[in-house]
Structure formats: structure tokens, C-alpha cells
Structure 1
Amino acid sequence: MKRVLFIAFSLLLMLQLQAQSQFFRVVKDYFRVDPFTGKFSDFVETVKTDPELTNIEFSPKTDTSLFSIKGDYKTFNPFTVKARGVQMSLSEKKTLVRESPQAFDTIMLYMITGFFDSTRQTYQMVQKEYKKINTKIKRDLPAHGTASLVKLSGLKDGQITNHAVSSTMASPISVAWYLTEDNELALMVVLRMKYENNRAYPGGMLFDYFYLRQGE
């Protein structure tokens, strides 16, 4: 019986790892610098020194603050909809994983966000692009959890879809679109990861909407 359970567990683990690794090709499609090739420190340095980035804001990790870097791309746009601006953000975020006793975890959020003119036509095109990206990701990672973002402060419309191997696994990648109360229309792809021994690997928590409030 133990041997059967071990084989079943091993097969499940192999399937999970295979699906997790397959989504890396989606990462290549939407992120200019791939965090999963080579050392994590080299990835961070490449992002920091990317000649395509402008208006760079960088905060190093200290005893009292977490690492973050943000910038605007000059021409890079992985979306098929013409954007008036594309922003990259790479930042560490601390999240509560257990209430009692309190326990926190730190993950790295790597985001690409396109900003678009808020016209009826573009509004429809962004939603179509959102569905297209999710369809592409679902070939490797199922969609587990789609929710409205309307209840979030400052947003009057929007939706997010999390992708994971299963509903009980952490979601390494999400896609979202939103329209603010100021009529700012945006589409974003969010990658969650952790790193160990100078290597990045997929990681994160399910339904962690806090990254939309990164400026708070």
C-alpha cells in the first residue's frame, strides 16, 4: 500500500513540475527579461540595467524595507493592443500566511502592465486580449479562480484570473485587466516567484490581490 501511495505521489509531483515548467514559455512571451534562465542575481542586474527602461525607480533591500524596481519601457509592448505606455515592476512583498500564530512569507512579484486610451473600442480590445492571454496560459496551467475587481478601492471595472496546477497549489501567474475611477485602462500579467540558492522558481499565494495596491 505504501509503495502504491509513493508511486501515485511521485506521478502527481512529476505532472505538477512538468506543468509548472511549461508555463516558462509564456513568461518568455510577455516579459522582456526571463528570471528562470541563469542566476537570479544576474536577472536582477539585467533588469536594473536594461537600456529599454526609462524613469527607473529603485529601492534596495535593507533591514527596514524590501527590494523594488520599477520603470517604463521605451518601445517594448508584448500585447497586440497598441499601448500608450508599458511599465515593468519587480518587487518583494510580504504577505500573511497564517493568523495565529502570525506567520509571514515574502514573494517576488514581477509585473508587466500596459496602459491604454480608455475608448469603447480599446476597452473591448483589452478584454479580448485578456481572454487570449488566459487561453494561451491554460494550455499549460489551468485557470483556478477568476474574480471581479470591482470591489477594490479605486476600480470601477476589471477581472483577474489565477493559473495553477490545481486549486490547492500556489498560483505562479495571473492575468488581470482593470478600469480605474479616473478611466485609466490597464492590462497586466503578474508572475509570482521565490528564489533560493540564487535561482528563481515559481511561487506565490492564491488570490493575492495586494499587488494591485503596490503603491500604497
Structure 2
Amino acid sequence: MFKYFFAITLSLLSASLIQAQSNFTRIVKEYYRVNPFQGNFSSFVEALTTDPSLMKKEIYRQTDTTGYFVKGQYDVFNPYSINANKVDMLFYENAYKSKSRVFFTFYTYQLTAYFPDTELARQAIIKDYKKLVKKIRKDLYDTQRQSLKGYNEIEDGEITTFNDSGSPLEPVIVSWQTLAKTKQLGLTIILRLEQVNNYAYPVNYKNRFNYMR
């Protein structure tokens, strides 16, 4: 009887885990033109850097003192409710350190979309931001929300970090903010990734070794 109950419980937990992972990967697939969780890590980097839709590319290889770095711009990739003027992409390697000790390396994969700063655009961008927050919170339930008003002369904006492990290094960050110098709005999505056995996983993700691709 106990073995039968245990098997049912395990099955339910597995189904719940697959559903949560599926939710998260759907969000990434929707907003990121090149999905880091599709295929192995090497293939992802190759697809990212050779994507013909990524313009104004700059690529710097890893050295003894610097990590791998790629940046570029999408002019036509707009997974938002209104068309962006442009979407900047950054992908770069970091080291997670405590004092002088390096614990592990990880990668930051960032999209920042720019929109004209109008009342209608603000409403649309805030709606997109809230929709993202709601979706991501289903999987990464430990959230911290903070207003960006007054920070570095930002008129208005908000940032939310997402976690599921209690680590100070959050795997996902989403923000929107006004950009006074260019009179635009910015919507930013940041993924922090680990490379394990040539596959990408959200950094510190509790279930990363069972992550569904």
C-alpha cells in the first residue's frame, strides 16, 4: 500500500515539475529569438552569433582576464504588444565571487527593448511588464519588487527579481523604466545561465539537473 501511494505521489510531483518547467521555457521561447534551452550550449551560442537578424554585432572571445562577450541589435524582432524601435541583446560571461574566490562562472543573457515615451506606449509596456512578472512568478515564486523612481534620474519604472533557491544571485530579472536622455521607454529581461555538461540552465535553479528541454 505504501509503495503504491509513493508511486502516485512521485508521479504527481513529476507532472507538476514538468508543467512548471514547460511554463518557464515557453516564456523564454516567446521573448528570446534564440532559446538557450533548445539543444546544447555550443549550438545555442553558434545560433545566437550567426543569426542574420542580429545586426551591429560585436563579439569578444574569452581571455585570461575577460569572459566571452556578444552584443547586437534586432531591428525586426518584436515579441511585445507594440513594436519596439529596436531591441538590444547582450550575452556575456561572469564570475560569481566572494572576496577573491571564484565559486563558478555564469552567463548573463539580456534583452532591452526601446519604445517611444508616450502615454499609450507606457500603458502597453507596463501591461507587458506585469504580464511577464505574473507568468514568471508561477515558477520562480520568491520575488522582490522595487520602484525605480528617482534612481539615476529615472522618472518612473520598476524592477522585479525572481528566485527559487534563496541565493543572492537571481536567475531572472525584469524591469521597465523611462530613459530621459533619449525620451524613450525601456523594457529589460535578464536571464542568468549556468553551463552544465554543455547545456544551459537557469543559475541556481533547484531542479536544473532534471530540466525539461
Range class of TM-score, shorter chain: 0.7 to 0.9
1:65-106 per-position Cα deviation (integer Å, ceiling 9, x unaligned) = 11111111131111112211112211112344x34x755543
SS of residue paired to 2:129: helix
Cα distance, 1:16 vs. partner?
A: 9.6
User: Identity of paired residues, percent?
Assistant: 37
1:83–1:106 distance in 2 versus 1, CA, 3 Å = same
Cα distance in 1 for residues equivalent to 2:204 and 2:179: 25
Aligned to 1:194: 194
Matched to 1:147, the amino acid is: Q
Cα distance in 2 for residues equivalent to 1:152 and 1:106: 29
Q: Would the aligned equivalents of 2:137 and 2:143 in 1 still touch at CA under 8 Å?
A: no
Cα distance, 1:143 vs. partner?
A: 5.0
SS of residue paired to 2:133: helix
Cα distance in 1 for residues equivalent to 2:142 and 2:134: 9
TM-score (norm 2): 0.78
SS of residue paired to 2:77: coil
Does residue 142 of structure 1 match 2:102? no
Cα distance in 2 for residues equivalent to 1:115 and 1:176: 12
1:21-72 per-position Cα deviation (integer Å, ceiling 9, x unaligned) = 6411211111111111211011001100001111111111111211111111
**1:13-52 equivalent positions in 2, closer than 5 A:** 18=18, 19-20=20-21, 22-52=23-53
Does residue 160 of structure 1 match 2:197? no
Q: Would the aligned equivalents of 1:69 and 1:89 in 2 still touch at CA under 8 Å?
A: yes
Aligned to 1:132: 131
Farther off after superposition, 152-161 or 62-71: 152-161
Does residue 91 of structure 1 match 2:92? yes
1:71–1:109 distance in 2 versus 1, CA, 3 Å = same
The runs of at least 4 aligned residues of structure 1 exceeding 4 Å deviation read: 13-18, 101-105, 166-170
Farther off after superposition, 133-142 or 69-78: 133-142
Cα distance, 1:124 vs. partner?
A: 2.2
Matched to 1:197, the amino acid is: N
Cα distance in 1 for residues equivalent to 2:138 and 2:118: 31
CA RMSD of aligned residues (A): 2.9
Matched to 1:79, the amino acid is: Y
TM-score (norm 1): 0.77
Q: Would the aligned equivalents of 1:95 and 1:104 in 2 still touch at CA under 8 Å?
A: yes
1:123–1:39 distance in 2 versus 1, CA, 3 Å = same
Aligned to 2:75: 74
Aligned to 1:173: 172
Aligned to 2:6: none
1:168–1:197 distance in 2 versus 1, CA, 3 Å = closer
Cα distance in 2 for residues equivalent to 1:15 and 1:164: 21
The answer for unaligned runs of 5 or more in structure 2 is 1-9, 206-213
Cα distance, 1:142 vs. partner?
A: 2.1
Aligned to 2:62: 61
Aligned to 1:106: 105
